[in-house]
Amino acid sequence: METNELYRGRLIDHIQLVVKDLESSKKFYLPIFETLQIPIGGQGPDFFWVDELFISSKESKAANGALTGRVHLAFQAKDRAMVDKFHEVAMKSGGKDNGKPGERPYHPGYYGAFVIDPDGNNIEAVFHGPAKKSSEAIKITF
């Protein structure tokens, strides 16, 4: 197993998805992460991880024998073209369309695409528009 650098002060330390078919998940996720330019962190016979996302089979010691419920995960993209490519690659890798690439009403410049992974999770790639100065922070209203 490889060692990763630990990051302190984040809200989310890591997320684990326990999937019914690890090979299907690899075929879905690995091309997506390649598209998003995020390298695989490591893998074993019943798991793999990328950045802070750990994906395992329910047979993995870390899974306690139970699948996770459905979740929504949003991955950051560097630009709109990367969001477009994410959607294209995800569809070719076994995903189901859940929202083609386009602007969303969440805030000005929000450009995202959504797909359903092999386990029914809603997976998104999002580009928030050009970086803003801290004094120009995006305001989001719910």
Domain ranges in the chain are 15-136
Q: What integer pLDDT is reported at residue 132 of this predicted model? A: 63
Mean pLDDT value across residues 130-136: 59
Q: What integer pLDDT is reported at residue 138 of this predicted model? A: 56
* More confident call, 11 vs 50: 50
Q: Greatest CA separation found in the chain? A: 48
- Model pTM score: 0.84
Look at the alpha carbons of 59, 61, 64, 70 in this order and tell me if their dihedral is positive or negative: negative
Read off the pLDDT band of 12 (50, 70, 90).
confident
Instruction: Name the burial class of residue 68, with classes exposed (0-12), middle (13-18) and buried (19+) by CB atoms within 10 angstroms of its CB.
Output: middle
Report pLDDT digits (tens) over 47-65. Answer: 999 999 999 999 998 888 8
Q: What integer pLDDT is reported at residue 62 of this predicted model? A: 84
Q: What integer pLDDT is reported at residue 70 of this predicted model? A: 94
Residue 93's nearest CA partner among 85, 81, 103, 82 is 85
Share of the chain above pLDDT 90, in %: 75
Report pLDDT digits (tens) over 58-108. Answer: 999 888 889 999 999 999 999 999 999 999 999 999 999 999 999 999 989
* More confident call, 49 vs 141: 49
Q: If you average pLDDT over every residue of the chain, what do you get?
A: 89
**Count of beta carbons in the 10 Å neighbourhood of residue 79:** 12
Read off the pLDDT band of 13 (50, 70, 90).
confident
| Fold held by 15-136 | 2,3-Dihydroxybiphenyl 1,2-Dioxygenase; domain 1 (3.10.180)
